[in-house]
Structure 1
Amino acid sequence: MNSSFELQNLDLIDLLSERHSLVRKISEQAWNDQSDIYISNSEWYIMARIYKKQPTLSYINKHVEISRQAIHKFIKQLAAKELIVIHNVENNKKEKCVQLTALGEACYEKNEALKAQLEQKIAEKIGAEQVKLLKDLLTLEWGIDSK
């Protein structure tokens, strides 16, 4: 679904969903076209929470809107692709923390550049001021927390 007529007939929730789905698909395709390492949107989401940090697995479970089992699966996949490493937390035998490897950081940064290119394409089409306005609107406090 992508014609303007079809999009005009959607409510705000479905319109946000359609646009989100479209830009995620384009972003994922841009990465996959230039890399041998397949990384799913959920894996990117987790990598974004890890980038330049060493969060614990319990922190990731609390702050990533994916089921605990799925997070565990994605963490294992990221480790198998050598994009993250899992460490023991000092003075805590149960807790583990995760960190991007040099390869993981390089992939993350390259993907950020690809997303910036996509944002630039959108700005060329709808205008830089419109993109800024959209970002400003999306970062406002909406007063609709899920919890």
Structure 2
Amino acid sequence: MDVPFCILSITTRLYTKCPDVCPTSLSLATQALNELSDEELKSLTSIFVSVDPQRDTVEQLKEYVEYFHESFIGVTGSEEKLAEVAKMYGAQYYEVELEGSAFGYSVNHSAATYLIAPDGQLRFIFPHETPPQVMLEGIRYLMAGN
């Protein structure tokens, strides 16, 4: 993709069955992106990576993330690729068995949003529940060429 900046949320090291962290992260990112102009929004790609490829299809991810913002892109991959991306950015995730649950298991995962420059370099890590204004400031800081 030929875009200046990319938000990659590895909180999102998302999964669509996540009851709390993922929807909160997506909601906060949505609030930040809603403050961007159309031009600014065009120069940003927001990618959310599912760490539950057994249950999350590309179609499910598309519907899930677009519920929050039409520009969001949901992706997943093989266990090997997910582990590789997680390692690149210091993210962690693992399955936890849920006895007696219809879901069977949950996924514990890092809860941060990562702002990545076009060269793939991690520029900012926003901890879970970072206020949207702080995310917006980081995005605009990089868009200004810093």
Structure-1-length-normalised TM-score: 0.26
Greater C-alpha radius of gyration: 1
Structure-2-length-normalised TM-score: 0.26
Which structure features the higher share of helix residues? 1
Structure scoring higher RCO (CA < 8 A, sep ≥ 6) equals 2
Which structure features the higher share of strand residues? 2
